[in-house]
Structure 1
Amino acid sequence: MMVQHRYFGVLTGEVGSGKSTLVRHLVQTLDPMRYQVIYLSQAGMKPRDFYGEMLRHLGEEPLFSLTKAKRLFEEVLRTRVERRDKSLVVIIDEAQDITPAMLLELRFALNQQMDSVSLFTLILVGQSELRRTLRKNKFEAVAQRIQLRFHLTGLTEEESADYIRHQMKTAAMTSPLFSDSALQLIYSATQGIHRLINHICTYALYDAQQRGSDVVEDKDIGRILADMERQRGTAG
């Protein structure tokens, strides 16, 4: 629905919470004959960078003049809609790092409409900091334009265990098995963050394979966590 109606959406979550996985899944579900996805990820992105990249992706020569670039961008989008070309889906990743000027510019970029519908879908993807930024009075006008918001949190303890079992099943692995106490310790160490779960489980499975063990116990996870902590200390 979001893409069909060209909504403005915001997806936030902590590092490793699964934002990239969710975005990849969304893109994979879109019919490439109907949608063109433009993915942007640039720390410190400014309005000039945004319009330049957009025009480049749309087959136009970027213009030095910001005013002219904005005008050309609008013309290209209107022409695409009138010709019923592929619907445009713009994803800005690491959006917590774009400049305040760029965040404010989004309001004006989205003001271009046809039949009261935006000319393109925009999805901002960022860490929780982006959520806090959008709550500031300075960005109230931008926040009011957001039609869909989704914040990813860590999995619950039960969901974490189910996730690990599902990943094992998907990989057609029947052993080693994670004991209930090991699953509890993994959750305690990761608070349900996907990336951390994946990292610890990969380490644990390799360790169990090296030891020839069919079960990963809590003591094994404890040892692995201690090893990882030592490695972080060495790296620091």
Structure 2
Amino acid sequence: MWESFFGFKKTPFSDNPDGKQLFASQAWNQVKARLQFLVDHHAAGLLTGEVGAGKSTAARSFIATLNPSLYKILYLHWTSGSALDLLRQLARELDLEPAHRRGDLVRQISEAIVRLNQSKKQHPLLICDEAHLLSHATLEQFPLLLNFDMDSSHYLTLLLVGQPLLRRTLSLQLHEALRQRMAVHYHLEGLTREELDAYLAQQLKAAGISQPLFEDTATQALYQATKGILRKVNKLAVTALRLAALRKTSLVNEAILLDATTEALL
């Protein structure tokens, strides 16, 4: 196996990194600051980024730092469906048996959220992942869910996570009410060229290797192929290391990296 060829103690470049070992890029630090503001102020926010930029990982890593006795995480991973389907899924996250009618369902959810805040002293944080796939009718439900005591109480924190299409969708006049409630918006970019060098070194070190395994020209080619998007970086780095092991070479050069780019479909 290629891991044993290089002497790795564990497989590097995982798509599911340990939250404690996340690379502290400028973008990640910006995301953390905004998510902390969101939670502190019980507000609504928007996190966007290209496919593979690390949006879900960032959200997951942040919520792992929250005290579960103070916050109830409501995570919806949405792919398709109606507004009613989303409300039913949210009701189940709140440990409710969903009502049949939409009006009853919204009231049921709202009452449960108020109870969490007032009786259990636990604040709900609703994270809707892949939110760019939500229909207009579904997005229109969120202002209703956020409205408590005629907008005077903030009982629910909302984070919409999705691809750049979500920003364009929310720019429509149809979603003015939801857009006005967005206190935070951040677009997650890939690593910079300088950060890529540090990221490669961090990943190799965490796997037990202290010396570089990528030549400078290979690292440059890696950046050009991935633009620093983490999922692409991880996929291409692993493919290049695997090809290098097959060729019995201890360094990934530009030629190997370019072959890996073709094999990894990048």
1:153-232 superposed matches below 5 A:
153-174=189-210, 177-229=213-265
- Structure 1 gaps of 5+ residues are none
2:158 corresponds to which of 99, 122, 126? 122
Q: Does residue 108 of structure 1 match 2:144?
A: yes
Q: What residue number does 1:5 align with?
A: 41
- Say how many residue pairs are matched: 230
Q: Which runs of 5 or more residues in structure 2 are unaligned?
A: 1-36
What are the superposed Cα offsets for residues 45-64 of structure 1, whole Å, 9 maximum, x if unpaired? 43312221222222221011
Shift of 1:148: 0.7
Q: Compute the displacement of 1:115 (Å).
A: 8.4
1:48 is the counterpart of 2:84: yes
Give the drift of 1:196: 0.6
User: What is the aligned-residue RMSD (CA, Å)?
Assistant: 1.8
Q: Kindly indicate whether residue 62 of structure 2 is the aligned counterpart of residue 26 of structure 1.
A: yes
Question: How high is the TM-score relative to the length of structure 1?
Answer: 0.91
Instruction: Report matched runs for 1:38-117 at 5 Å.
Output: 38-113=74-149, 116-117=152-153
Counterparts of 1:141 and 1:115, CA distance in 2? 12
* Residue 115 to residue 66, structure 1, CA distance change in 2 (3 Å): closer
**Deviation of the 1:226 alpha carbon:** 2.9
Secondary structure in 2 matching 1:177:
coil
Compare 94-103 and 80-89 and name the one that shifted more: 80-89
Are 2:185 and 1:149 aligned? yes
Distance in structure 2 (CA, Å) of the matches to 1:185 and 1:137 = 42
Look up the equivalent residue of 1:149 and give its one-letter code: H
Cα offset, 1:74, TM superposition: 1.4
How far 1:114 moved relative to its partner? 8.5
Q: Name the counterpart of 1:16.
A: 52
- Residue 159 of structure 1 deviates from its aligned partner by 1.5
Using a 3 Å threshold, how does the CA distance of structure 1 residues 117 and 5 change in structure 2: closer, same or farther?
A: farther
Identity of aligned residues (%): 36
SS at match of 2:159: strand
Q: Answer yes or no: is the 8 Å Cα contact 2:201–2:212 preserved in 1.
A: no
How many Å apart are 1:198 and its aligned residue?
Answer: 0.3
Task: Give the Å deviation of 1:175.
Answer: 5.2
Maintained 8 Å contact 2:201/2:210:
no
Aligned to 2:39, what secondary structure does the other structure show?
Answer: coil
What SS class does the counterpart of residue 121 from structure 2 fall into?
Answer: coil
**Is 1:139 aligned to residue 175 of structure 2?**
yes
Question: Could you tell me the TM-score, scaled by structure 2's length?
Answer: 0.81
